[in-house]
């Protein structure tokens, strides 16, 4: 028997629940929201389609239902408003996340906490500390979606099935993130080697354009439709699946890093093995000197915000 709690039933939380239901991901999915009517409505709406999908239970509940969950997904939080800085958003959502964490831990018995709310690196760090759980038991979605966008854009540019494209966006989920080009491969060939193939049509300018497009993708979607929720819902599903099935899949989730390339006590995204116990291993990428410098800078950008909110 598997049980998942989703805290926050806005666009993202509801889409995650819907995607999980379609995949028949867990025996129980409980939706928790300060707006109890919204949680109830979403649970009812999904439940009425379950006869076409399979046997499972989707219902609205409260923090006491976090007991015995295999995964607890946190999506609740405020959205960034025009003119608002990242620090403003961090302060606001750190306060919300602290209250959520305290309520979860009153009833917590087991499971991995997956943080989706933004700024995800900041909230993952703080929730890890507040929860008192072992390092790795709290992880953030980090750059998993950014890495998916990265692979999608490379596959589209090179006209290659995305399943044959392997690459990672690492560091902060934000402006200082970077593509690990040195660890990007097409069917086993490093992308630099692959692009020596005649007519590959992939230039340094294309690389810069893809990196920038990945970074701005979320803002572009918000400009066009007001919010992003489908791709992140699918992303969270892949993370939850690898936890529930103990698949030990490698994903660029966000977790507290201590000692990697001189990075200490800060939360960033790196390719990590994810299973039933959360993050069990962080891969040692062989980055170029330039990539290492960019990664250190990215970690420092996260650290600057952390220093401002740690006292909350």
CA-CA distances (angstroms) from residue 63 to 72, 113, 142, 183, 304?
10, 13, 25, 41, 32
Query: Which residue of the set 48, 107, 166, 173 is catalytic?
Result: 173
Q: Which helix (H) or strand (E) holds 78?
A: none
CA-CA distances (angstroms) from residue 132 to 3, 5, 166, 310?
22, 19, 34, 15
Q: How many CB atoms lie within 10 A of CB 75?
A: 27
Q: Is 173 a catalytic residue?
A: yes
Question: What is the distance between the alpha carbons of residues 82 and 95, in angstroms, rounded to a whole number?
Answer: 20
* Signed CA dihedral, 227, 171, 293, 248: sign only: negative
How many CA atoms, within 13 angstroms, populate the side-chain half-sphere of residue 281? Answer: 8
Which residue in this structure is represented by tokens 């701005």?
Answer: 216
Q: How many CB atoms lie within 10 A of CB 82?
A: 4
Q: List the catalytic residues.
A: 173
């Amino acid at each position: 028997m598997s049980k998942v709690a989703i805290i926050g039933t806005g666009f993202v939380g509801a889409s995650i629940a819907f995607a999980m239901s379609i995949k028949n991901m867990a025996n129980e999915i409980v939706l928790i929201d300060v707006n109890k009517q919204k949680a109830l409505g979403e649970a009812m709406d999904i439940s009425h389609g379950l006869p076409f999908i399979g046997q499972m239970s989707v219902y609205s509940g409260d923090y006491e239902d976090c007991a015995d969950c295999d995964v607890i997904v946190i999506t609740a939080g405020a959205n960034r408003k025009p003119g608002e800085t990242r620090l403003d958003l961090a302060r606001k959502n750190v306060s919300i996340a602290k209250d959520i964490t305290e309520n979860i831990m009153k009833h917590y018995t087991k499971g991995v906490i997956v943080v989706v709310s933004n700024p995800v690196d900041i909230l993952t760090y703080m929730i890890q500390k507040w929860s008192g759980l072992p390092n790795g038991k709290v992880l953030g979605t980090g750059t998993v979606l950014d890495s998916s966008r990265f692979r999608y854009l490379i596959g589209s540019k090179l006209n290659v099935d995305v399943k044959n494209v392997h690459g990672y966006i690492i560091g902060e989920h934000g402006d200082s993130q970077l593509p690990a080009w040195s660890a990007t491969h097409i069917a086993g060939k490093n992308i630099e080697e692959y692009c020596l193939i005649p007519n590959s049509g992939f230039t340094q300018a294309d690389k810069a354009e893809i990196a920038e497009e990945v970074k701005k993708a979320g803002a572009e979607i918000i400009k066009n439709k007001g919010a992003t929720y489908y791709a992140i819902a699918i992303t969270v599903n892949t993370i939850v699946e690898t936890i529930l099935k103990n698949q030990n899949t490698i994903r660029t989730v966000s977790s507290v890093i201590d000692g990697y390339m001189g990075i200490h006590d800060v939360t960033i995204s790196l390719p990590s093995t994810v299973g039933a116990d959360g993050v069990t291993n962080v891969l040692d990428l062989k980055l170029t000197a330039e990539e290492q410098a960019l990664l250190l800078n990215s970690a420092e950008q996260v650290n600057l915000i952390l220093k401002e909110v740690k006292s909350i």
